[in-house]
Each structure stands twice: as structure tokens, then as C-alpha cells.
Structure 1
Amino acid sequence: MKRGFRELLIENSDSIVENWLEEISSLKTGNYTATISDELYESTNREFVNVIFTSIRNQGSSNEVEDFSEKIINLGWPLSYLTDGLQIFRRVSTEYLLSQSEQIDSNQFSMILSNVDEWVEPLIRQLVNEYSGSWENILSLQRVALQELSAPLIPVMEGITVMPLIGTIDTERAKLIMENLLEGTIKHNSEVVLIDITGVPVVDTMVAHHIIQAAEAVRLIGSTCILVGIRPEIAQTIVNLGIDLSNFPTQSSLKKGFTKALELTGREVIDLKTREADVEGIINSLKGE
């Protein structure tokens, strides 16, 4: 943008900002921002227009653009908010510059449009690129977090770990389950691993196949895998599908599975009250002798 036009915009920023705020506020009713509070919408709009004028003054990119794009993503607002706002600013700025020109001819009109575009177009590209980059980065971080939470292996006692599974199991997640299961079993030196499928809504042939593969892999590294959380409808499905689960133990609940795991590791659950009563009985018997 030529210096004269830029200085004119900056010197009259109050009028341009007022017109811009009025037009962008008119978009709120009935569009993607309809549910946003008026206070948040107004404060964000003012921050947006400040970012625009900061870019004009700096004649290029600024950190404010990156920060504002990230803020819009965190608010959950779409990219169209940014592009709509810049298109409105393009129109408002052009109209203002035209209103300040004493003589309007085709050359003057073309010059104003060209100079406004020299600034607006780069800013649109920068905002879109920053928005897209921040969005991809956030998605990547979320994907990693979800993967870490989708197949956790939890050590509950020396030699015993639990892997609770929740939600649908697809091929990609099954691969992750296998990797976490084997790495965790070795890391925690697990003798018994409980795979809890209480939260798995459907167990079909593919899901059962993946679970059997995981259990077999655990067996090959010297540990025992117990499948727990088998509800009646899941048991019926497994039988109807003809799936063979006879090679590794199964239990209907995590409690029963944990009791079995204690048994396999040479331990048992003891009722302390009962044990105390038995000890007291032995002591009383010895006193009687």
C-alpha cells in the first residue's frame, strides 16, 4: 500500500474501526457466532481490528497475527470469521478512501483498490496460514494425547497390570493396543495382564481376533493374559461367531479377574477380621492347654 493511503487509513482509524465494527456485528445474528456472548464477540472484534491496524503500521507480518489466529482456534471459531472480517475491512477501507478523494475516475478507483489489496491479500494469506498451521498442530497434539489414553496399561500390584479398553476398536487402535500391551508388560515385569473389555460396546470377529492376537503375544513373552468384563450379550456373540477363547482365561468381571490373577501369582485375598478371629481362637486354645 502506498504511503499516502496507509497514513490516511491510520490517521482516520477511529472512523474506519467504527464502520467495521458495525458491519461485522451485523453478521452475528444467524451465523456461526450467534451463540457467542455479546461481550466476548465485541472484545474479540476489537482485538481483531487492532491486529489489522498493527499489521498496517508494521507494513507486514507481526506476532499479533499468529497469536490471534491461535486464539480463534482455541475459541472454536471457524476460519470464515477471519476471512469475513478481512473482506469487510477491505470494503470499508476502500469506501472510506473513495469518500476522501476529490475526483473519482477509473484510474483513481483502480489505484485505491490496488493499494488496499496490496495489504489485505498478504494479511489474508498470513492469517489463513497461521490458522491452518495452528489447527494442524493442535490436532496433532490431540491425536497423540488420545492415543496415549486409548490403550493405557496400569500396574495395580507387583506382577499384575490392567488394560481397560473403552470404545470402538479399529485396526489402527488394535495395533496401538498390541504395542502398549507388549511394551508395558515388559516394562512393569508383569506376570498377569488383565484386558478389561467392559467398556467395549461391540465385540465382533475383528475385535475378537485382535484381542486373541494381543493375548497370544503376551503369552509368547512369558506372561498370562486374562480377558475380563465379558457381559452376557458379549458371551453370546462370541459363541454365535464360533470364536475360540479357550487358550486363555476369561472372567465376567474385573474383580473376579483380579482374584484369578492373585491366584496365578501365588497370592490370595484374606479377610483380616476372619484371620484375627482364627488367631484369637488359636491363642485361646493354647491357653486352655
Structure 2
Amino acid sequence: MDSKFKGIVVENSETIVEMWLEEVARLKEANRTATISDDMYDNTNREFVEVIFTSIKNQGAIKAVETFSEKIISLGWPLSYITDGLQVFRRVTINFILSQSDSMDTDSISNVLSSVDRWVEPIIRVLVNEYTGNWENIVSLQRVALQELSAPLIPVIEGITIMPLIGTIDTDRAKLIMESLLQGVITHNSEVVLIDITGVPVVDTMVAHHLIQAAEAVRLIGAKCILVGIRPEIAQTIVNLGIDLTNFPTKSSLKKGFMAALEMTNRKVTDVTPCEDNIGDLIESLKGE
């Protein structure tokens, strides 16, 4: 920044700060920070402007800028807060410098603009790059976590496992479901897999196609699939779309599906509650011991 303009800005920093704070306060609704308390908003604004002035006094003070950016990200503030704040600061600073001169020619005005830009633009670049880099990292970690939880296979009893599906199923997720399903069937030595779509909001042609493919793949490795969680609206959609699930056993609930899986594995649920006579015999035998 031009030494002359730098001197003007530093000497009148308090005035410029107050002008900036006043204008930024009007942007609270526009830059999605309306839910933030007034005290926190004001304190953060003052910290923000302090970081800006630190950078003009010390051109190598990038660490302070990065630290502030990390704090804003951790608090979940929008990127627009940073960009709007710096644009307002640029405008306020230019207007103040120009107001200090009674008359300025075109060259002088251009010099002021370019001088302020050389000061503000590096700050914008550092803050935005730091902000976007951190968010990309967060999104990447969240994507990995979602992928790990997107298609869990849960062994219930020997030979029977359940795969509960929640949320929208797209092509990428369908691929993960297929991989997890096949690997899980082998790992758990499953005979029957219950695919529970109770939490899937929409079952269209594409989703049904992926589910049928998954069931066919499971059949090829010696196991069977039962589709459970067929809600009335899902059943109606499947019929309207003409989707053929003839070779894919379906049940309306997980309970019914589990009972069917027991039958497929030659098992059944029986009442083992002892009768009164048996209870008496059991008590006598315990007394004898």
C-alpha cells in the first residue's frame, strides 16, 4: 500500500473502524448471520477489523488471518460474512481517503483504488482459500462417514442378516450397497438377507432396478433376499411403474420378513413358557439339589 495512504488509514483507524462497524451491522440480515447474538456479532466484527489492520501494519501477518478464518469456520459462520465485510471495508477506506483531499485528479483516484486493492485482495484470498479448504476437508470427512454408514449389514442370528436402508438411493450409493451386501453375505455366512427399505422415502424405477440387481447378485452366491418395509404408497408406486418383483419376496414389515426368513432356514418361533406342573417339578428338583 502507498505509504501516504497507509499513513492516512493508520492515523484515522478508529474513525474508519466505526464507519465499517456501522455499515457491517446493516448486513446482518443479508449475510445469514441474523441468528447470531448482537454481542457475539459485535465482538467478532471488532476482531475481524483488528485482523485487517494488523495486516496493513505487518504485511507478513498471515497467521492472524488464518487463525481468524479457522475460528469463523468452527463457529459455522457463512463465507458471505467474510466477503461482504472485506468489500465494505474496501469501500469505506477508499471513500475516507478520497474525502481527505479537496481535489483529486483521475490518476490520483486510480492510485487510491489500486493501493487499497493491493492491501485488501491478499486478505480476501487468504481468508477465502482457508475457508473453502477447511470446508472441503469437512465435507470430505462427512462423505466418508456417510459412506461407511450408508449400507450396514447386521447379523441377527446364524444365517439371517438385516440391511436397513435410510435415505435416498442414488447410483453411487447403490454400488456401495451391492458391495457391502455381497461382502457381508460371505463374511457372516448368511442364508437370508432382509433388505429393509422402511427409511427410503422414494422407490422409483432406478431404485427398484438396483435392489433387484442386488438380490440377483446375492442369489448367485447362494443366499436369498427378502425386501421388507413395503409401505402402501411404495406398493402403489411399484405397481404403477410396472416393476416386476415376482422373483423378489416382499413383506410389509421387518417382523413379517424375519418370520419368513426363519421358515426359509427351517426354523420357527415356539412358546417355551413352562406349564404349572412343570414349574412345580422344577422347584422340587431344585430343592433336591
TM-score interval, smaller chain? 0.7 to 0.9
Identify the range of structure 1 (247-256 vs 67-76) with the bigger mean alpha-carbon deviation.
67-76
Query: Normalized against structure 2, the TM-score is what?
Result: 0.80
Instruction: Say if 1:263 and 1:61 are closer, same or farther in 2 by CA, change over 3 A.
Output: farther
Instruction: For residues 61-115 of structure 1, give each alpha carbon's deviation from its aligned partner in whole angstroms, at most 9, with x where no partner exists.
Output: 62333343344445554433222211221233334445566x7543554443332
Q: Which residue of 1 aligns with 2:59?
A: 59
Contact 1:168-1:200 at 8 Å conserved across structures = yes
1:222 paired with 2:222, answer yes
Q: Which residue of 1 aligns with 2:84?
A: 84
Instruction: Say if 1:261 and 1:41 are closer, same or farther in 2 by CA, change over 3 A.
Output: same
Identify the range of structure 1 (92-101 vs 123-132) with the bigger mean alpha-carbon deviation.
92-101
Deviation at 1:162, TM superposition (A): 1.3
Question: Paired residues, what number?
Answer: 283
Identify the range of structure 1 (214-223 vs 132-141) with the bigger mean alpha-carbon deviation.
132-141
Q: Among the aligned pairs, what percent are the same residue? A: 71
Matches within 5 A, 1:121-136: 121-136=121-136
Cα distance in 2 for residues equivalent to 1:254 and 1:29: 47
Cα distance in 1 for residues equivalent to 2:204 and 2:26: 52
Matches within 5 A, 1:1-289: 1-3=1-3, 5-6=5-6, 9-10=9-10, 12-29=12-29, 32-60=32-60, 62-98=62-98, 105-106=104-105, 108-272=108-272, 274=273, 276-277=274-275, 280=278, 283=281
Instruction: Say if 1:132 and 1:61 are closer, same or farther in 2 by CA, change over 3 A.
Output: farther
Instruction: For residues 258-278 of structure 1, give each alpha carbon's deviation from its aligned partner in whole angstroms, at most 9, with x where no partner exists.
Output: 223334445443434x2x228
Secondary structure at 1:194 match in 2: strand
- Structure 1 regions of 5+ residues with no counterpart? none
Deviation at 1:194, TM superposition (A): 0.8
Identify the range of structure 1 (113-122 vs 228-237) with the bigger mean alpha-carbon deviation.
228-237
Cα distance in 2 for residues equivalent to 1:29 and 1:235: 45
Cα distance in 2 for residues equivalent to 1:255 and 1:26: 57
Secondary structure at 2:212 match in 1: helix
Secondary structure at 1:163 match in 2: strand
Query: Normalized against structure 1, the TM-score is what?
Result: 0.80
Contact 1:69-1:134 at 8 Å conserved across structures = no
